[in-house]
Amino acid sequence: MKKSLLHFLGILLLLGLSLAARQTSFAQDEESPPPTGLVDESLNDLDHPDDVQSGTSVSVHVLADGSSVEEILFQRWDNGDWVNANRSLYTYSTGKQAIEIVSQTWLSGVWVNASKILSTYSSTGKVTESSLQYWDNQNWVNLAKFIYSYDPNDNLITRLGQTWRDTLWVNAQLYLFTVDGAGNRIEEILQKRRGNEWANSQRRMYAYDSFHHQTEYIRQRWRDSVWLNNDRYNYAYDLAGNRILFERWRWFTNMWVLRSRIAYAYSSRGNKDEVLSLRWHDSLWVNLSRRVDKNYSHGKKEESTLQAWQGGDWLDLSRNHSSYDKAGNLLETVEQVWNVYQWENSYRYTYKYNLLTDIGEAATIPTSFSVSSNYPNPFNPATRIQFSIPNATFVSLKVYDVMGQEIATLLNEEKQPGEYSVVWNAERVPSGVYFYHIAVGDLSETRKMILLK
């Protein structure tokens, strides 16, 4: 492999990207506003696209219902048929954490290794190290890695990026994170290695509302020993916690200048129907592009169309169709482009899972009623509640807010003796403190959990 390519791959990792994350990006609900973090938390992004503050890596492919992704296949449309391009294969620990992701390329009718991501975790499920290797046609060779550290509350506080040089790991960049008492990230600083010292490079500062929604971040660059403003991003939300507005400002001649905005529209059920991009021009907002989502299944969109504003009308550019299994797991996403007369296939992603049931029964019978604390906690957007019952009985499991209003009913039925695991997906619920109350016959218990978005 050429040195230039190796250097490029190393930069990708140290900029917070990964081949596997790139392959799944089309399946996620991508939006123009940048995510929290100077970059997309690299291998952290493989955990959950919204869980950028958790520091937990790679487990995005362990879904809320316990299913784990085994393979993601990327194919291109060529002369009326789907042709293999590349794929990612996932290996998990017994704790359902992705410890290895192998990316392969389809060449001359066979799969050829390209890159590999290896990850290790702490006892609390936080990633402690993620490394990238490339295949040199005979062996796996080190390329780059991240080393993570956390405070006693498991908040990410440092991320050290290193590159492999000759036979040694060499420091390249360092991220320093600061969080407030609620665990919200309020500052991060990127430093780069200059000789034997760390030198400031970039900084971002964050602000939140009382519901822990991110309302602002300011990006700055280090120059001549001072921090200089560069960009500012502001967010607004509705009463349900849905983001309804994003604005981008640019620092110009000692003042903030509004450059662009994105507006979000939702249905009565809370499904995102439209994402509209506009730019500020001659004292007016001018349409740029929009994405229209529709046909929701399992709370997830099945069709999304991208359009551009031209000549006073919306013109189709591309669209994708997604299909899901009964558990709501994504099975396939097909991307199509508009060629003036009709839609034509472009590429697709297909997903294979190791399917597990959302609520399962253990092989042994518990001797008493017990409830475990939900995990993770705090969480975003899903958390798991486990309990066990020794006898057949009616089980009620409900979620309440701090005002005592019922938010969700997770269980309300007769259950056989055994151990059970129930997932609450709070995707459409605002950040805050919630309580889950479980009633089993004459016994009951209530516990607190925290949703941080």
pLDDT single digits (tens) 58-74:
334 555 455 678 899 99
As beta bridge partners, residue 279 has 260, 286
Give percent of the chain above pLDDT 90. 50
Q: What gap in Å lies between CA 54 and CA 125, rounded to an integer?
A: 10
DSSP per residue, 369-404: -EEPPPBSSSBSSEEEEEEEESS-EEEEEEEEETTS
pLDDT band at 387 (very low <50, low <70, confident <90, very high): confident
Q: Are 339 and 347 in contact (CB under 8 A)?
A: no
Q: What gap in Å lies between CA 229 and CA 395, rounded to an integer?
A: 55
pLDDT band at 43 (very low <50, low <70, confident <90, very high): very low
Q: Model pTM?
A: 0.68
Distance, CA of 401 to chain centre: 25
As beta bridge partners, residue 392 has none
Helix runs in 289-440, H state only: none
Which pLDDT score, from 0 to 100, does residue 356 have? 42
* Strand segments (E) across 23-93: 68-78, 81-92
Summarize the confidence of residues 181-204 as an average pLDDT: 94
Which pLDDT score, from 0 to 100, does residue 330 have? 85
Helix (H, G, I), strand (E, B) or coil at 23: helix
Which of the listed CATH numbers 2.60.40.1930, 3.30.1360.120, 3.40.50.150, 3.90.105.10 matches domain 370-451?
2.60.40.1930
pLDDT(29) > 50: no
pLDDT band at 9 (very low <50, low <70, confident <90, very high): very low
Q: Are 426 and 452 in contact (CB under 8 A)?
A: no
Helix runs in 233-282, H state only: none
Q: Smallest Cα–Cα separation from 203: which of 183, 184, 226, 182?
A: 226
Token pair in block for residue 408:
């969700």
In eight-state DSSP terms, residue 241 is: S
Token pair in block for residue 196:
């034997």
Better pLDDT: 425 or 96:
425
Task: Please count the CA atoms within 13 angstroms of the CA of 391 that sit on its side-chain side.
Answer: 5
CATH of segment(s) 3-354: 2.40.128.720
Q: Are 179 and 155 in contact (CB under 8 A)?
A: yes
Which pLDDT score, from 0 to 100, does residue 362 have? 34
pLDDT band at 421 (very low <50, low <70, confident <90, very high): confident
Helix runs in 243-365, H state only: none
Give percent of the chain above pLDDT 70. 82
Residues 6+ apart with CB under 8 A from 212: 182, 184, 431, 432, 452, 453
Domain locations in the chain as residue ranges: 3-354, 370-451
Q: What is the pLDDT of residues 151-171, one digit of tens each?
A: 998 899 999 999 999 899 999
Token pair in block for residue 163:
């590159």
Q: Are 187 and 177 in contact (CB under 8 A)?
A: yes
pLDDT(15) > 60: no
User: What's the whole-number average pLDDT of the chain?
Assistant: 82
Q: What is the pLDDT of residues 120-162, one digit of tens each?
A: 998 888 899 999 999 998 889 999 999 999 999 889 999 999 9
Which pLDDT score, from 0 to 100, does residue 211 have? 86
Range name among 35-44, 85-94, 418-427 with the lowest pLDDT average: 35-44
pLDDT(12) > 60: no
Which pLDDT score, from 0 to 100, does residue 42 have? 29
Range name among 30-34, 101-105, 284-288, 318-322 with the lowest pLDDT average: 30-34
Better pLDDT: 287 or 294:
287
Better pLDDT: 53 or 175:
175
Q: What is the pLDDT of residues 206-218, one digit of tens each?
A: 999 988 899 999 9
Residues 6+ apart with CB under 8 A from 378: 183, 449, 450, 451, 452
Which pLDDT score, from 0 to 100, does residue 95 have? 67
Summarize the confidence of residues 334-358 as an average pLDDT: 85
Q: What gap in Å lies between CA 98 and CA 119, rounded to an integer?
A: 7
Q: What gap in Å lies between CA 283 and CA 320, rounded to an integer?
A: 34
